[in-house]
Amino acid sequence: MTYRWNFASVFDNWQALAMGLAGTLKLSIVCLILGLSLGLLVGFGRRARRAPIRWLSTAFVEFFRNTPVLIQILWFYFALPMIAPIEVSPFLAAVLGITLNAAAYSSEIYRGGIQSIEPGQTEAARAIGMSGLQTLRRIVIPQAVRRILPALTNRGIEIVKTSTLASVVAYVELMQQGKLIASLNFNPIEAYTVVGVMFMLLLYPFVRATYAIERRLARSD
């Protein structure tokens, strides 16, 4: 028995795929920016001088790191409107679930990166009169980013792929559109294959870009 691949039925729906691509891009970019920035804050929170900030940050990380994103998205979509007087769109539910999860994971990466910078670096910066904030911005973070870039790249890729989970609340992105095409044309194998390849094509240039940044940052070695 030979299977007859029928990609034409997928490509006929290129407009639906284009809409999905737009949705994936929008969701991914928002989650990348919010998730990785919030992660930096939480990472610092775990090193805060005040104990309550440390506890809160740790609780945040452990809660969102140890619950499935899929359930978080469902929960934000269905349960949140029942306990708070807000309307939650599929987009918002997905952003909340993915962002908070990404923040929890990336905060650990940031924390490790910041901890790995020798105390002598901070001391040297403070000794020429730099403030704590200036020291972070000019001395600690640039060096930490260099060390954590590969790990952060991994996280970024993961965030983009996790955006497929937004299909569970029918947010229009690539996975959702793939499902739609598959259910209309009975061609799930082809539809999901195309969606998978589209992710590959989307992410590979992104990865190449981070390699280029790594090379640029390695100039001082």
Partner 1 sequence: MKVPVLRLSGLGKRFGSNTIFSGVDLDVLPGDRIAILGASGSGKSTLLRCINFLEHPDEGRIEVGGQLIGHVTGPNGPAVVRYDERELNQLRQRIGMVFQQFNLFPHMTAIANVMEGLVTVRRLAKPEARSKALEQLSRVGLADKADAYPAHLSGGQKQRVAIARALAMEPEILLFDEPTSSLDPALVGEVLGVIEALANEGRTMLLVTHEIGFAYHMATRVVFIANGGIYESGTPDEVLKSPKRALTQQFVADHRRFQF
- Site residues (CB under 8 A) for partner 1? 118, 120-121, 123-132, 134, 138-139, 142-143, 146, 217, 219-221
Nearer to partner 1, 92 or 117 (CB): 117
> How far apart are CB 118 and partner 1 at their closest, in Å?
8
Residue 102 token pair: 């990404």
- For residues 193 and 174, what is the distance between their CA atoms, to the nearest angstrom? 11
* Three-class DSSP labels, 46-84: CCCCCHHHHHHHHHHHHHHHCCCHHHHHHHHHHHHHHHC
- For residues 180 and 185, what is the distance between their CA atoms, to the nearest angstrom? 9
Residue 79 to residues 26, 71, 137, 176, Cα–Cα distance (Å): 24, 11, 39, 22
> How far apart are CB 33 and partner 1 at their closest, in Å?
24
Nearer to partner 1, 52 or 120 (CB): 120
Nearer to partner 1, 124 or 189 (CB): 124
Nearer to partner 1, 74 or 141 (CB): 141
> How far apart are CB 145 and partner 1 at their closest, in Å?
10
Nearer to partner 1, 6 or 121 (CB): 121
> How far apart are CB 215 and partner 1 at their closest, in Å?
14
> How far apart are CB 120 and partner 1 at their closest, in Å?
4
51-65 and 90-115 helices, crossing angle to 10°: 120
